[in-house]
Amino acid sequence: MRATMTLSVLTLTAALVGLSGAARADAGRHHHGHAHPTFSAGEPGNARRPARRITITMREADGKMLFAPDRIEVKRGEQIRFVLSNAGELEHEFVLATPGENLRHAEEMQKNPEMAHDDPNARRVAPKTKSEMVWRFTKAGTFEYGCLIPGHREAGMIGTVVVK
The residues, any chain, with a CB within 8 Å of residue 101's CB and separated by 6 or more, are: 40
Q: What is the mean pLDDT of residues 82-90?
A: 98
Q: What's residue 44's pLDDT?
A: 96
Write out pLDDT tens, residues 99-137: 999 999 899 888 887 777 668 999 999 999 999 999 999
Write out pLDDT tens, residues 5-19: 333 333 333 333 333
- Residue 91 and residue 22 share a domain: no
- Residue 82 and residue 150 share a domain: yes
Of residues 53 and 34, which shows the higher confidence score?
53
Looking at the domain assignment, is residue 100 inside a domain? yes
Q: Considering its fold, how many domains does the chain have in total?
A: 2
Confidence of residue 37 (pLDDT cuts 50, 70, 90): low
Q: What's residue 24's pLDDT?
A: 32
Looking at the domain assignment, is residue 37 inside a domain? no
pTM above 0.85, yes or no: no
Coil, helix or strand for 111? helix
Helix runs in 2-148, H state only: 2-25, 99-111
- Residue 141 and residue 101 share a domain: yes
Looking at the domain assignment, is residue 35 inside a domain? no
Looking at the domain assignment, is residue 87 inside a domain? yes
- Decide: 117 and 30 in contact? Cβ < 8 Å: yes
Does residue 2 have a pLDDT over 90?
no
Mean pLDDT of the chain: 81
Check which CATH number belongs to the domain holding 154 and give it.
2.60.40.420
Distance CA 101, CA 40 (A): 9
Q: What's residue 30's pLDDT?
A: 43
The residues, any chain, with a CB within 8 Å of residue 13's CB and separated by 6 or more, are: none
Looking at the domain assignment, is residue 53 inside a domain? yes
The bridge status of strand 130-136 relative to strand 71-74 is unpaired
- Residue 53 and residue 2 share a domain: no
- Residue 154 and residue 79 share a domain: yes
Q: What's residue 9's pLDDT?
A: 34
- Residue 126 and residue 97 share a domain: yes
Of residues 110 and 69, which shows the higher confidence score?
69
Structural domain that includes position 48: 42-163
Coil, helix or strand for 147? coil
Does residue 25 have a pLDDT over 60?
no
Q: What's residue 144's pLDDT?
A: 97
Q: What's residue 35's pLDDT?
A: 41
